[in-house]
Structure 1
Amino acid sequence: MSGIIRLKSSLVIGDDSNSVSILGQTAPGGGILLTIDQTNDELRHTPLVAKQTHDVIVRHLRIRPRLPNSVKNVHAAVIENSQRVYFDHTSMSWATDENVSTYSNTTDITIANSIFAEGLNKHSKCTLLGADPRVPQNITFWRNACISNNDRNPDNNHYGKSCIEIVNNVFFNARSEWGEVFSQYPGGTPISYVGNYFKAGPSTVEKTYAIKWQNVESAGQPQIYESGNVLWAPPSKSLQLLSPGTDQFVVNRPPCPLAVDTLLAAGEAYEEVRGQSGAFPRDDLDVAWIKDMGAQGERGAGRMVVAPGEIPAIKEAHAYGDEDFDGMADSVEEKFGGVVGVNDAWEPASTDGSMRFDQFMEWLSQERIAGRYPK
C-alpha cells in the first residue's frame, strides 16, 4: 500500500497496542502520508499519537495535517506518557502547535533523521521536548532539520537528572527564538547542544540567539553544555550563540554521558541532514525545503506560512513479492539467511545475531535513501 491516508480522527497507538512498528520503507512507490483535513467533534486533529504505550518505531512516514491556523492544538505527532519510542526518517509540517512534541512522563525517546517544516503562524513551532513531565526524562534529538518555524527550535523544560541531548541538527530560518531552555521543575534542565548548525534565513529577525535561558517561573538552575555548534547569518543579521544571562549556566562537560555514539562536526552534520533526512523517497515538499537551506555559508530561501500547502501526488506501485508472508522481500531474503517459502523472519540473521526481519528493514531503509528502491 502507498499513497495519502486521509484520517477522520487521530491514529492512536495506545496502551492496548504497544510494541508497534510503522515501517514506511515497506510501502511501494512514493510511500505513505498521513493527514487530517477536516475537523471532528472530539477535537482529535493530530494525525499520529503515541499515548501510554511503549516500544514503538515509526520510520519513513510523512505527516502533514491540513487544517487552518484557527484550529488550535494541532500537532503532526505527539508522544505522550510513553517509553522507548523511536521516530526516524519522518517528515512533518503545517501543525498549528508543535510539529512534533513529547508530553507528560515520556522518556527514552529518539527523534532522528527527520524534517520538521513550516509550522503555521501565528503559533509556528518546531518541537517541544519537555511538556508537563513529572519524572526525569531521556530524550535524543539527532540529525534533524527544523526549517522555517517561528520558535521552539527546540523548546526544553525538564527535571534535574534528565538526559537531554540536541546533537548534529540543522536549525534554519527560525524567526525569533531558537533553542529555548526553561527550568520550571526541581533540579533544572540538564541539556547538551553538540555539533548543531544554526542558520539565519529570510524570516529571521535582525538579532537573535541560538540558545536562550528563559527565566520564567524557574525552580532550579539549568546545566547547559555546548560544543562544536556553528552559527551563520547574512551580514544584515546577528545570530549569537548564547543570550545574555545564559552563559552563567554553561557547564564544561555534558550533564550526563551522550547516548549518540557517532558525533559529526557541525558542517558534516549539515551535509548529512541535507542528504539523508526525511521520509524517502522525498516528496516535492521535502525537496523544496532542503533546497531552501542552501549551501553552508550562503543565503537560503524559505518563509513563514499561515496556511497549509498542497500535498503532492504520491506515485503508486506494486508491493514487493512476499509469498511466505514473513514481511521480507522474496527477491533478497537469502541475503539475510532466510528461505523463500518459509516464514522465518524472526530467526537470527547470518551476521551479527540480530533478527532477519530487522536487518532487512534497515537494508530496505538504506536502499530507499540511496534511490535504489522502489523501482
Structure 2
Amino acid sequence: MTVQCWAGRLARAGLALCAAAPLAIAEPVSDVAFPGAIGFGKSATGWRGGEIVAVTSLADEGPGTLRACAETGGEPRVCVFDVSGTITLDRPILVGSNIYIAGQTAPGQGIQLRNGQSLHAPLVLVNVHDIVVRFLKLRPGPSVTPSSTVDALSIENGSRLYFGNLSLMFATDENFSIQVTRSSVSDITLERSIVALSLNRSTHPDGGHSKGALICSSDGLLNDCGRITLWGNLFAHNRDRNPDVNGTDVGPIEVVNNIFYNPISQFAELYDLTGNLNFVYVGNVALTGPSTTQNAATAIETFDFSPEYSISLVVRDNLAMRRPDCTGTEGLPILTEAATGQVSDDPRKPASVAARRSDEVLDLVPRVAGDRLERGRPPDRLDALVLEDLRLCRGHVIDRIDQVAGWSDLPPAPRRADSDGDGLEDGWEAARGLDAGRRDDAWAIDGQTGLPRIEAYLAELAGDLPPA
C-alpha cells in the first residue's frame, strides 16, 4: 500500500497528515450507498462487506472509541454506537477510507463531538474515498490558542463522500470545508444537515470569521474540484460563505432546495479562481434576519477574477426575501447585475438530484434537517433553537457559545443491546427470527428487504426504509 503525506492547508497549520492512497476495491453489490441516497456522493459504497465495529466508549482514544474504529488504513468498516453522549477531542479523528460512521445506531440523543485541546476540525478527511457519515453533531468550539483550521467538518482531496443529517456548528473557520491541494475532489453529497452558528469574533487569527461553507478552495496547480451536491440543508447564522464556491470542469456544484438564513454580509459567493465554475442553484430560499446588513443585497454574487476561466450559472425557481420580524416580506434579487450575463438555460440541471419547488422548501427542510430520527430522536436543544429561530425570524450570528447556553447536554441512555457483537441490535434480530447469539450473519441477505442484514438495519433506523 502506498502512503502519501499531504502538505496542504491542514498540514501547514501543524497537523501531519499522511493517508493511504486509494485502494482498488471490488465492485459493490449496489452502486448506491443506502436506499434513498442522493447527489453526486451516493456511490460511496467501499465500506460494504467490511468489519462491523462497536463504539463502546466516549473517550478520545483507546479501545472501543470512535477513533479506534474510524482511523484505519483503508480496511472497510462500519462504526456502530452502543453509547450516546459527548466525545471531547484533543486531536482530530483522521477518518480512513471505506468507512460508514452510523450515528443513527447511537441510543438516546446520539453523539456530539467537540474539541478539547484540538486545533482542528473534529473529523478530518484527507485523500480518502468511500466514506458515509450520518446522524452526528460536530460542534468543535473555540480553540485553546488561535487557529485558522477549526472547521466542524474538514475535507482535503478525496471522492465518493456522503454526509447526511449532521449538525455542524461552532466552527471558528467554516462549518463545512472542502479543500483541494494538487489533487482532486469529486462526488460529494451534503444533505439534510444544519450548518449554523459558526463563531464570529472568536479564536480565528483573522478576527471576525463566521463562515458557512467553503467549497473547492485550492492550493497549488492542477487541481480538479466538482460534482458536489448540497441538498435540503439549513444554513443559519453564518456571517458569509453561504456558500463560497469555486470549481473546475470536472463537474458542476449543485446547490438545490437549501435554506440560507440570517447572514451578516453575504449569501452565496462564486469565484473562478481554480477553473471554469459550473454552478447550479435551483429551488433554494435565501432569507435575511436580525444580523443581516444591507451588504447581503442578493442571493448570489459572482467574482470573475480570472481572465482564463469563466462562471456559468443555471439559476431557476429560487426565493429570496427580507422578512423583518416575520411581519412581511420584501423581495430580494437573486443575482447581481453582473451575474445575470452568466446565466444559461439548462433544463437537465440539476443532474444529481431531483429538485422540489422552492415554495415547498420552507416547510420541507425544517422537518428533515439535522441530527434527528423519525423514530426516537427529536432535534436536540441546539438544533431545535436554530429551527425555531428560522420559524420566528429571530436569532443572531454569535461570537461565543455561551450566547446559546453552551453545548447540548446529552443525557445518558441505556446501551444498545447486541449480545453477539455483530452490529445488529438484539431486538431487531428477534423480530426477524434471527439468532441473536450468532456473530457471523450480519452480511447475510435479509429476507424482507433483499439487502444485507446490517444495511437493512441501518436503513430502518435512519428512516430510509419503513419498519418491518
The question of a shared fold, defined as TM-score above 0.5 by the shorter chain, is answered with yes
| 1:161 CA displacement | 3.9
Percent same amino acid at aligned positions? Answer: 32
Query: 2:347 & 2:432 partners in 1: Cα distance?
Result: 39
For the pair 1:3 / 2:85, whether they are aligned, the reply is: yes
Matching residue within 136, 161, 164 for 1:88: 164
Deviations 1:308-347 (A, max 9, x none): 2311210211223222222112212366685433331212
Query: 2:277 & 2:134 partners in 1: Cα distance?
Result: 29
| 1:54 CA displacement | 0.9
For the pair 1:307 / 2:400, whether they are aligned, the reply is: yes
Q: Which moved more, 1:132-141 or 1:148-157?
A: 132-141
**1:37·1:67 contact (CA, 8 Å) conserved in 2?**
no
Counterpart position of 1:231: 320
Deviations 1:64-115 (A, max 9, x none): 1121595333101111111111111100111111101111122111111100
**1:200·1:239 contact (CA, 8 Å) conserved in 2?**
no
Q: Which moved more, 1:132-141 or 1:164-173?
A: 132-141
Deviations 1:196-248 (A, max 9, x none): 11111111113511011113335312110011111221369762100120011
**1:153·1:179 contact (CA, 8 Å) conserved in 2?**
yes
- 1:153 is paired with a residue whose SS is coil
Q: Give the aligned length.
A: 357
For the pair 1:258 / 2:323, whether they are aligned, the reply is: no
Counterpart position of 1:194: 282
Query: 2:240 & 2:441 partners in 1: Cα distance?
Result: 47
Matching residue within 335, 355, 368 for 1:242: 335
Counterpart position of 2:97: 18
| Aligned amino acid, residue 137 of structure 2 | R
Q: How does 1:33-72 map to 2 (within 5 A)?
A: 33-39=112-118, 44-67=119-142, 70-72=146-148
Q: How does 1:1-375 map to 2 (within 5 A)?
A: 1-13=83-95, 17-39=96-118, 44-67=119-142, 70-104=146-180, 105-121=184-200, 122-132=208-218, 134-186=223-275, 188-206=276-294, 208-234=297-323, 239-253=332-346, 258-260=351-353, 262-280=354-372, 281=377, 282-294=379-391, 300-309=393-402, 310-333=406-429, 338-342=434-438, 343-351=440-448, 353-366=450-463
- 2:332 is paired with a residue whose SS is strand
- 1:137 is paired with a residue whose SS is strand
| Aligned amino acid, residue 389 of structure 2 | D
Query: 2:307 & 2:396 partners in 1: Cα distance?
Result: 33
**2:256·2:283 contact (CA, 8 Å) conserved in 1?**
yes
Query: 1:338 & 1:82 partners in 2: Cα distance?
Result: 38
**2:281·2:316 contact (CA, 8 Å) conserved in 1?**
yes
- 2:426 is paired with a residue whose SS is coil
| 1:269 CA displacement | 2.4
Deviations 1:171-198 (A, max 9, x none): 1111211111101233x10011111111
**2:227·2:250 contact (CA, 8 Å) conserved in 1?**
no
- For the aligned residues, what is the CA RMSD? 2.4
Change (3 A) 1:335 1:211: farther
Query: 1:140 & 1:338 partners in 2: Cα distance?
Result: 38
| 1:50 CA displacement | 1.0
Stretches of structure 1 lacking an aligned partner (at least 5 in a row):
none
- 1:318 is paired with a residue whose SS is coil
**1:91·1:116 contact (CA, 8 Å) conserved in 2?**
yes
Deviations 1:28-62 (A, max 9, x none): 111111111335xxxx4211101111111111110
Query: 1:257 & 1:205 partners in 2: Cα distance?
Result: 31
Query: 2:251 & 2:120 partners in 1: Cα distance?
Result: 30
**1:32·1:61 contact (CA, 8 Å) conserved in 2?**
yes
Change (3 A) 1:74 1:219: farther
Query: 1:86 & 1:337 partners in 2: Cα distance?
Result: 32
Query: 2:224 & 2:106 partners in 1: Cα distance?
Result: 37
| Aligned amino acid, residue 288 of structure 2 | A
**1:149·1:304 contact (CA, 8 Å) conserved in 2?**
yes
Q: Which moved more, 1:284-293 or 1:264-273?
A: 264-273
Q: Which has the higher contact order (CA 8 A, sep 6+)?
A: 1
**2:141·2:172 contact (CA, 8 Å) conserved in 1?**
no
Query: 2:359 & 2:431 partners in 1: Cα distance?
Result: 35
TM-score, normalised by the number of residues in structure 2: 0.72
